Amino acid sequence: MASAAEQLAANLNLGVLSKATELKQRIWFTLGALIICRLGTYIPIPGVDASVMAQMMRQNGGGILGMFDMFSGGALGRMTVFALTIMPYISASIIIQLMTAAVPSLEALKKEGEPGRIRLNQYTRYLTVVIALVQSYGISLGLESMHAGAGQAVVHPGFGFLFTAVVTMTGGTMFLMWLGEQITARGVGNGISLIIMSGIVANLPGALASLLELGHTGALSTVFIIGFFILAIVVIGFIVFMERAYRRVPVQYPKRQVGNRMFGGDSTHMPLKINTAGVIPPIFASSILLIPATIAGFSGGGAGWLQTISATLAPGSVVYMIIYAAMILFFSFFYTAVVFNPQETADNLKKYGGFVPGIRPGSATANYFDFVLSRLTVLGGLYLVAVCLLPQILITDYGLPFYFGGTSILIVVAVMMDTVTQIQSHLIAHQYEGLIRKSRAKGRR
C-alpha cells in the first residue's frame, strides 16, 4: 500500500481525475447549477425602473444593502428574481440552530439522529418561506417609496406590483434553496455555500479592474498595487492556516473483556477548532452596525440623533472599528457556546467509557473542555478581528475601492477548502475502488 503522501500525489494526478467519471459528472452538474444562479441575477422583477435602482444603490451602497448586494452578486442592486439570494435560508438555519439550544423539544430532535435532522431541515424550510415573505414585502414597500432624479423606482405602484414582487422574490429564494440542496446531493461541495461564494466571486473581476484602473491613472502607485497583491496572498495563507488549526485533546478508551476477547484500549483525540464560530460573528456584527446608516439613507437623512449615530458609526471611523471588534469577539463566544456543549460532550465520552488522561470523567471533563475552548475562542476571535479590520484600514487610509478581507474572503476561502477536500475524498474513493477491482481480477486468475 502506498503511503499517505503518495496517495495524495496520486489523487492530484490528472490521469486519475480523467478516469473518475462520476466525479466529472458531479463537477459539471455543480458548474451548470452555478451558471443558472448567475443567469437568474440578470432577470429583473417586473415594474422596477433599473436606472433609478442603480442610482439608489450608489447612494445607499454603504449600508446593509451594500453587504447583501455583495453576497447576491449584484442581484439586489439590479432588483432581480434572486434579489434576496439565499440569505433567508441562512437566517432560518441560524435561528433554528440557536433555538435548538433554548427549546427542549428541538434539542430532543437534534439528539434523535437522522429522523430528527430531517424534521429540523423541514422546519428550516418553513421558516425560510416566512422570512422570505417578510423581507420581500418590506423591500417591495420600500421600493414604492423610493425615488431619485430619474423618477420613481416602481413604475406602477399598487397591490399588483406588491403581489408580483413578493411572489417573485420568495419563489427565487426557494428555487435557490432547492438548487443548493441538489448541488449538495448531486454535485461537489456544500450547495448553499457555493451559491453565496459565486455571488461574491462574481464581483471580483470588476473590483480588480477598478484597482488596475487606479494604477493606470496614477492614483495608486505600482509599488502599492504589487504590495497589495503580496498582502492578499499572505492573508489568504493566514486564513487557510487558521481555518485548519485545531487543538487535539487526547482521549483514551479503556480495555474491556467480552468473553475471551479484549476490546478497546484505543487512544485517539478530539479536534477542537480554533475558529469554531466560522463567519457568523462578522456577519452579525456588520449587519447590526450598518442598520443606522441604512435607515438614515432611506429616510432622507432621518432625525438629528440618527444622523449623529450613523456618522459616528461610519465604516472606517475609530468608534466603528472598536465596536466592530468588540462585537466580533462577543459573537465568537456566543455562537461557540451554542454549537459546542462541553457538558454534553463530556457525558457522551463517559457513556462510551472514554476519558481525557489526567481528568476525571463527568463535570471535571466538561470544565476542562470549557477551559480549553474559551482560550481557543479568544485566539479565533482575535483572528477574525484582524482579518475583518484589514479592509477598513485599506479603504480609510489608502482609499482603496476594493473589498479585500473580512467576511467575503473568509467565505470564499472556507468554501474552496471544503470543496477541494470533497474532491480529494471522491478521488481517494475512486482510487480504492480501482485497487479493489484489480485485486479481485488477480484473484480470479
Q: State the Cα–Cα distance between residues 96 and 90, nearest whole angstrom.
A: 10
What is the model's pLDDT at position 193?
86
What is the model's pLDDT at position 329?
93
Q: State the Cα–Cα distance between residues 369 and 342, nearest whole angstrom.
A: 6
What is the model's pLDDT at position 381?
92
What is the model's pLDDT at position 10?
46
Q: Extract the residue ranges of the chain whose pLDDT is less than 70.
A: 1-20, 58-67, 148-150, 255-265, 291-307, 310, 315, 398-406, 430, 432-445
The string of pLDDT tens digits covering residues 188-207 is: 888 888 888 888 888 788 77
What is the model's pLDDT at position 158?
85
What is the model's pLDDT at position 326?
92
Is 257 strand, coil or helix?
strand
What is the model's pLDDT at position 9?
46
Q: State the Cα–Cα distance between residues 36 and 42, nearest whole angstrom.
A: 10
What is the model's pLDDT at position 443?
63
What is the model's pLDDT at position 376?
93
What is the model's pLDDT at position 5?
43
What predicted TM-score, i.e. pTM, was given to this entire model? 0.79
Find out whether 421 and 443 touch, Cβ atoms under 8 Å.
no
What is the model's pLDDT at position 133?
92
Please name which of 411, 417, 53 lies closest in space to residue 200, comparing C-alpha atoms.
411
Q: State the Cα–Cα distance between residues 312 and 315, nearest whole angstrom.
A: 9
Q: Where are the alpha helices (DSSP H) in 299-405?
A: 304-312, 318-339, 342-351, 363-398
Find out whether 407 and 283 touch, Cβ atoms under 8 Å.
yes
Element (H, E) at 267: strand 267-273
- Match 482521549 to its residue by C-alpha cell: 251
Q: Where are the alpha helices (DSSP H) in 113-190?
A: 114-145, 159-186
Q: State the Cα–Cα distance between residues 328 and 339, nearest whole angstrom.
A: 16
What is the model's pLDDT at position 2?
41
Average pLDDT of the chain, as a whole number: 80
What is the model's pLDDT at position 441?
65
Inter-CA distances, 127 with 1, 89, 272, 283, Å: 50, 8, 31, 20
What is the model's pLDDT at position 375?
92
* Cβ density class 244-270: b for 16+ within 10 Å, e for less: ebeeebebbbeeeeeeeeeeeeeeeeb
Phi, psi of 13 (to 5 degrees): -70, 130
